[in-house]
Amino acid sequence: MKPGYLALVLHAHLPFVREIEDDDSLQQHWLFEAITETYIPLLLVFDNLIRDRIDFRLTFSITPTLASMLGNPLLQSRYLVRLERLIELTDKEVTRTRTDPQFAPLARMYQALFGSIHEAFVHRYKKDLLGAFHRLQTLGYLEIIASAATHGYLPLLAVNEAAVRAQIKVGVEQYRQSFGRMPAGFWLPECGYFSGVDALLDEVGIRFTILETHGITRAHERPRYGVHAPVHCPSGVAAFGRDPDSSRQVWSAGDGYPGDYDYREFYRDIGYDLDHDYIKPYILPSGVRIDTGIKYHRITGKGDPKDPYVPEWAERKAEIHAEHFLDEQIKQIECSGRLMDRKPLTVAPYDAELFGHWWFEGPRWLDHLIRKTAARQDVIRLVTPSDYLSEHPVNQTCTPCDSSWGYKGYNEVWLNGKNDWIYPHLHAAGLMIEDLAARYPAPKGSALRTLNQAARELLLAQASDWAFMISSGQMEDYASRRIKSHLAHFHRLKEQVESGVVDQEWLESIEKQDNIFREIETFAAFRISSSEV
Amino acid sequence: MDEYNLPESYGKTRLVVLAVDPYLIHAYWEIAPPELDEAKRHSGNTKAVLRFYKRTNQGEYADWFDIDIDLQSRNWYVHLWSVEESYRVDLGLKRSDGTLFRLVPSQLVLMPRSLPAPEIDQRPARVDPTERRAETVPVPSPQQDPQQETIAPLANLFDASPIPPTPIDSAKIILEQLKTAFASRQWRWDPFEVETAGSANTHTERPATDLTAMDLTAMDETKLTTGLFSGALQSSHTKKQSDEE
CB B171 within 8 A of CB A320: yes
Across the interface, whether the CB atoms of A327 and B175 are under 8 A apart is answered: yes
Tell whether A370 and A514 lie within a shared domain: no
Interface confidence, given as ipTM, is 0.94
The answer as to whether A493 is a domain residue is yes
Residue A143: the pLDDT is: 98
Domain carrying residue A509: 416-532
Span A197-223, pLDDT tens digits: 999 999 999 999 999 999 999 998 899
Tell whether A133 and A49 lie within a shared domain: yes
Distances (CA, A) of A217 to A133, A207, A227, A336, A366: 33, 20, 7, 15, 28
Tell whether A147 and A207 lie within a shared domain: yes
- CATH classification of the domain holding A21: 3.20.110.10
> Which residues 498-527 of A have a C-beta within 8 angstroms of B?
none
Domain end (from A363, A387, A408): A408
Span A149-207, pLDDT tens digits: 999 999 999 999 999 999 999 999 999 999 999 999 999 999 999 999 999 999 999 99
Q: Would residue B182 be called left, alpha or beta, if left means φ above 0 and alpha means ψ between -120 and 50 degrees?
A: alpha
Tell whether A449 and A371 lie within a shared domain: no
Across the interface, whether the CB atoms of A393 and B126 are under 8 A apart is answered: yes
> Residues of A with CB below 8 A from B235's CB?
472-474
The answer as to whether A379 is a domain residue is yes
Closest-CA residue in chain A for B126? A394
Across the interface, whether the CB atoms of B220 and A217 are under 8 A apart is answered: yes
The answer as to whether A330 is a domain residue is no
The answer as to whether A438 is a domain residue is yes
Residue B231: the pLDDT is: 56
Span A103-124, pLDDT tens digits: 999 999 999 999 999 999 999 9
Tell whether A195 and A218 lie within a shared domain: yes
Across the interface, whether the CB atoms of B16 and A53 are under 8 A apart is answered: no
Tell whether A65 and A189 lie within a shared domain: yes
- CATH classification of the domain holding A423: 1.20.1430.10
Q: Is A214 on the interface with B (CB under 8 A)?
A: yes
Question: Residue A325: which pLDDT band, with cuts at 50, 70 and 90?
Answer: very high
What contacts A153, CB < 8 A, 6 or more positions away? Answer: A189, A190, A192, A404, A411, A414, A462, A464, A467
Among A33, A93, A173, A190, the active-site one is A190
Residue A20: the pLDDT is: 67
Query: Which one of B139, B150, B182, B222 would you mutate to disrupt binding with A, by most A Cβ within 10 Å of its Cβ?
Result: B182
Which residues partner with B132 through β-bridges? none
Tell whether A52 and A148 lie within a shared domain: yes
The answer as to whether A308 is a domain residue is no
Query: Which one of A57, A218, A414 would you mutate to disrupt binding with B, by most B Cβ within 10 Å of its Cβ?
Result: A218
Q: Is A151 on the interface with B (CB under 8 A)?
A: no
Tell whether A165 and A53 lie within a shared domain: yes
The answer as to whether A156 is a domain residue is yes
Domain end (from A408, A433, A452): A408
Could you give the CA distance from residue A352 to residue A133 in angstroms, rounded to a whole number? Answer: 13
Domain end (from A408, A432, A448): A408
Among A351, A387, A420, A511, the active-site one is A351
The alpha carbon dihedral of A60, A61, A66, A70 has a sign of positive
Residue A474: the pLDDT is: 86
Tell whether A148 and A241 lie within a shared domain: yes
Residue B66 has pLDDT above 90, yes or no: yes
Mean predicted lDDT score pLDDT of chain A: 95
Minimal C-alpha gap between B37 and chain A (Å): 22
Span A228-253, pLDDT tens digits: 999 999 999 999 999 999 988 888 76
The answer as to whether A113 is a domain residue is no
Q: Is A190 assigned a catalytic role?
A: yes
Tell whether A366 and A435 lie within a shared domain: no
Distances (CA, A) of B19 to A349, B28, B48, B224, B227: 25, 12, 21, 21, 18
The answer as to whether A96 is a domain residue is no
Residue B121: the pLDDT is: 56
Tell whether A385 and A484 lie within a shared domain: no
Identify the helix (H) or strand (E) that includes residue A241.
Answer: strand A238-241
Distances (CA, A) of B153 to A46, A404, A427, B145, B161: 20, 33, 48, 17, 12
A74 phi/psi in degrees, rounded to 5: -65, -45
Query: Could you give the percent of chain A with pLDDT greater than 70?
Result: 98
Tell whether A383 and A528 lie within a shared domain: no
Domains, chain B, with CATH or none: 14-110 (2.60.40.10)
CB B70 within 8 A of CB B48: yes
Residue A121: the pLDDT is: 98
Across the interface, whether the CB atoms of A408 and B185 are under 8 A apart is answered: no
> Residues of A with CB below 8 A from B20's CB?
410-412, 415-416
> Residues of B with CB below 8 A from A509's CB?
none
Question: Residue A304: which pLDDT band, with cuts at 50, 70 and 90?
Answer: confident
Query: How many domains is chain A partitioned into structurally?
Result: 2
Q: Is A439 on the interface with B (CB under 8 A)?
A: no
∠ Cα A22 A28 A32 (to 5°): 135
